[in-house]
Structures are given as C-alpha cells and as structure tokens.
Amino acid sequence: MKAGAPPSARRRRPPQSPHRAGTKTIVMHREYADNRLALQLFGAHHGNLSRIEQALDVAIHARGNQLAIEGQHPDAETACLVLDRLYDLLEAGRVVEPRDVDDMLRLTHNGGGTDAAPRAGPSLKTTPTTDLARPARPPSTSASARC
C-alpha cells in the first residue's frame, strides 16, 4: 500500500482475542448483591479486573454489579473463583487491594484449593525474628545487660 493512501484504504488488523488460538471459549456470569462491594471488588478504574484478565488470559466485561468472564474453561473458572473469594473477603469487612488480587491469583492458580486465602489481616508484613546467618548469643547474667 502506498504511503499516501487514504486512511480508509489501509488494511486493518482484526482485533486480537485475549485467548489462545484454536481453543473454544466459554462465558461465565457473576452478579454481586452489594453494589458498593462490587465497586471495591472491581477496583479503581477496574484495575483489579485488569489484573485478573492479564494473569489468566480472560476478558472480563462489567456492567453495574454484573460480570461476564470470557475465556478457556479452566481460566474462566479460575477467574470466577478468584472474584468470588475476593468478594467474600469484602463481605467479611476486609479491604481488597491490588496485592490481595495478586495473592489470590497465585494461591488459586497454583492449586491453592478452595480453602486458600490471602493474608490473615490487612497489609500484614512479616519480619524475621532471628537472623539465621549469625549464631545466637547466650543470655547475659549481669543486671546491666537486662535493661
């Protein structure tokens, strides 16, 4: 095609599907009762849904408090499971952040089973209590060392 050709004459590529070529896709639907929690589940600018789409090779379409999840059977099913678990956390009073979405994806996608859940509390960070590289010091018996 010539460089000076009008835009309508240029060939367009068909939109790329988020799914692997040659496989059958399914559509699964979810509806969440609490609109406020559904908005938190979807994330700011649907950021949580985008994380799930990218991690699982699915397309998620939101309309109000309803979702349509399109993808291969195992991926779409995993996306539904992740969304349902995150919604359960929201119903229990937890705040779902992007890292919670990542944790849930990792737990669910790596065979976490139905009992898997992310951190027990909001944004808990663990720090080691002992340094394994250094040997432990024996306790001191002097009074000044106890303070």
For residue range 7-63, list pLDDT tens digits in order: 444 443 334 454 455 568 899 999 999 999 999 999 999 999 999 999 999 999 999
**Is there a contact between 76 and 70 (Cβ–Cβ < 8 Å)?**
yes
State yes or no: pLDDT of 75 exceeds 80: yes
Tally the domains of the chain. 1
Q: What is the pLDDT of residue 24?
A: 81
Report the distance separating Cα 128 and Cα 16, nearest Å. Answer: 46
Report the distance separating Cα 114 and Cα 108, nearest Å. Answer: 8
Chain mean pLDDT for the chain: 75
Residue ranges making up the domain that contains 53 = 19-109
Q: What is the pLDDT of residue 25?
A: 87
pLDDT in tens, 84-142: 999 999 999 999 999 999 999 999 877 654 444 444 433 333 334 344 444 445 555 55
Sign of CA dihedral 104, 105, 106, 112: positive
Q: DSSP state, 129?
A: S
Q: Residue 75 falls within a domain, yes or no? A: yes
Q: Residue 80 falls within a domain, yes or no? A: yes
**Is there a contact between 62 and 43 (Cβ–Cβ < 8 Å)?**
no
User: Which of 85, 41, 90 minimizes the C-alpha distance to 64?
Assistant: 41
Q: What is the pTM of this model?
A: 0.62
Report CA-CA distances (Å) from 136 to 77, 126, 131, 143. 49, 20, 8, 20
Q: Residue 136 falls within a domain, yes or no? A: no
Q: Residue 135 falls within a domain, yes or no? A: no
Q: Residue 125 falls within a domain, yes or no? A: no
Q: What is the pLDDT of residue 6?
A: 52
Q: What is the pLDDT of residue 126?
A: 33
Could you tell me the CATH number of the domain that includes residue 71? 3.30.1370.10
Q: Residue 69 falls within a domain, yes or no? A: yes
